[in-house]
């Protein structure tokens, strides 16, 4: 893909996946705006990390200089009002009766995409970028390619616009997401991802080789395993 003359809006949470998406958008689009959602998540660590990451990207990546901004934060407190999930209430992380992790927030990605599209419409942007991924993940139904395709069609019908939802991580496993960060932003972006992005469900900030987190929740488990595989593959590439 060559650099498009279009602008993009990235759903940017401050996590590893959306940081990789931000780098992907900066590589492929002329200008990139970001949007984050305050939905009453249990911890504010991700939202705080967003600003730091955006600042470091603006200052430390000359190839993307002047391409970011503005950053938007929208409140979606309705998700916490509904509650009943481990991410929006004081419930310990586990599985629901139907087997889905109780970190799944019903409707969350659908609301995010609808709100992002409404904002994009107002900003004259038609390319949305999100970190949804159906590989190596927890089986969230709103991360499936089929859901995203249907949502794109719904948004276009419902707003009479031509949005495209880009999901560069859809077919990547967690090791490949680390590799993508390295390809797009070199070692600097891998370091920034380790130091600043927050993926942990508990929002814990203990340092590990793969970054910050509690080290024991499912999100930390996936991240740690992906990083170990990435380093293993990288070492065998160099040999």
Supply the minimum distance, in Å, between the C-beta of residue 202 and Zn ion. Answer: 5
- Taking the CB of residue 197, how many other CB atoms lie within 10 A of it? 26
Of the candidates 209, 210, 230, the one whose C-alpha atom is nearest the C-alpha of residue 219 is 210
Of the candidates 99, 80, 98, the one whose C-alpha atom is nearest the C-alpha of residue 90 is 80
Q: What would the two tokens of residue 206 be? A: 């203990």
Which C-beta is closer to Zn ion: that of 155 or that of 220? 220
How many residues would you count in the chain?
Answer: 239
Supply the minimum distance, in Å, between the C-beta of residue 198 and Zn ion. Answer: 9
Which C-beta is closer to Zn ion: that of 44 or that of 186? 44
Supply the minimum distance, in Å, between the C-beta of residue 207 and Zn ion. Answer: 13
Supply the minimum distance, in Å, between the C-beta of residue 223 and Zn ion. Answer: 8
Binding site for Zn ion (CB under 5 A): 200, 202, 213-214, 217, 220
Which C-beta is closer to Zn ion: that of 43 or that of 56? 43
Angle at CA of residue 33, ends 71 and 81, nearest 5°: 55
Which C-beta is closer to Zn ion: that of 36 or that of 213? 213
Which C-beta is closer to Zn ion: that of 42 or that of 51? 42
Q: What would the two tokens of residue 231 be? A: 């380093």
Q: How far apart are CA 83 and CA 101, in angstroms?
A: 15
Supply the minimum distance, in Å, between the C-beta of residue 48 and Zn ion. Answer: 16
| Residue 160 backbone dihedrals phi, psi, to 5 degrees | 50, 50
């Amino acid at each position: 893909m060559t650099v498009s003359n279009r602008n993009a809006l990235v759903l940017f949470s401050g996590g590893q996946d959306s940081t990789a998406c931000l780098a992907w958008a900066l590589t492929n689009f002329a200008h990139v705006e970001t949007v984050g959602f305050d939905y009453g998540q249990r911890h504010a660590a991700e939202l705080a990390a967003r600003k730091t990451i955006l600042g470091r990207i603006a200052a430390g990546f000359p190839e993307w200089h002047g391409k970011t901004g503005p950053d938007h934060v929208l409140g979606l407190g309705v998700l916490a009002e509904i509650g009943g999930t481990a991410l929006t209430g004081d419930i310990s992380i586990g599985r629901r009766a139907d087997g889905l992790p109780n970190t799944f927030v019903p409707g969350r990605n659908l609301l995010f995409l609808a709100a992002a599209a409404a904002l994009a419409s107002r900003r004259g942007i038609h390319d949305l970028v999100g970190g949804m991924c159906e590989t190596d993940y927890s089986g969230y139904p709103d991360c499936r390619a089929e859901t995203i395709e249907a949502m794109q069609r719904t948004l276009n019908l419902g707003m009479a616009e031509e949005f495209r939802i880009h999901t560069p991580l859809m077919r990547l496993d967690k090791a490949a997401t680390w590799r993508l960060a390295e390809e797009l932003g070199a070692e600097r972006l891998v370091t920034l991802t380790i130091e600043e992005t927050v993926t942990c469900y508990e929002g814990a900030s203990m340092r590990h080789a793969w970054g910050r987190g509690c080290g024991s929740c499912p999100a930390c488990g996936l991240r740690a395993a992906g990083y170990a595989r990435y380093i293993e593959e990288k070492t065998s590439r160099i040999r």
